[in-house]
Structure 1
């Protein structure tokens, strides 16, 4: 699956907004430290938003996979193989949804999936 994602990423063109921003950054190339720039101004705000969002997504994924799988096996006495196949099926559905977020926008995809 990693090779498929790698091939997809290699063939997918970057958005116009990203390309315009990249050209703007190259024109205004400064000798400042990239790490210093990351922790200042708008970059710090963007870093905080992405960190908060991805931490929340990571916790949600952990809650949705680890805890229920243990409960399904321990209390409902489902075979562990069935639980693993269920998690695999969920990830098979998640893969195209994640790839489609590049087309429809990550914010819109996250809002729709959240609902």
Structure 2
């Protein structure tokens, strides 16, 4: 895993270090999947404060850490904000079609559950 170069830099796995089982684990949680769906829809970086998850701040921090350490998102500080971006290029290169399939399945499940 890459190491942080300053006290505000966050460690991320290099592309070659990203493992399928870690990505699948990260995407298996409904809160983390919600974050990924919002990032995919935004197609840009979003600050942590943008997300309104129905969990405590410490649990939200945990979810972002799991996503970052698995290689699903990249987090960087911009001023005082921690910005989050989906590592779509890395995931598509390593696991073609996986992210789109998971996002599509998530939308279909949400519709199915809403229809009762």
TM over 0.5: no
Higher relative contact order (CA 8 A, sep 6+): 2
> TM-score, normalized by length of structure 1?
0.27
More helix by share: 1
More strand by share: 2
> TM-score, normalized by length of structure 2?
0.27
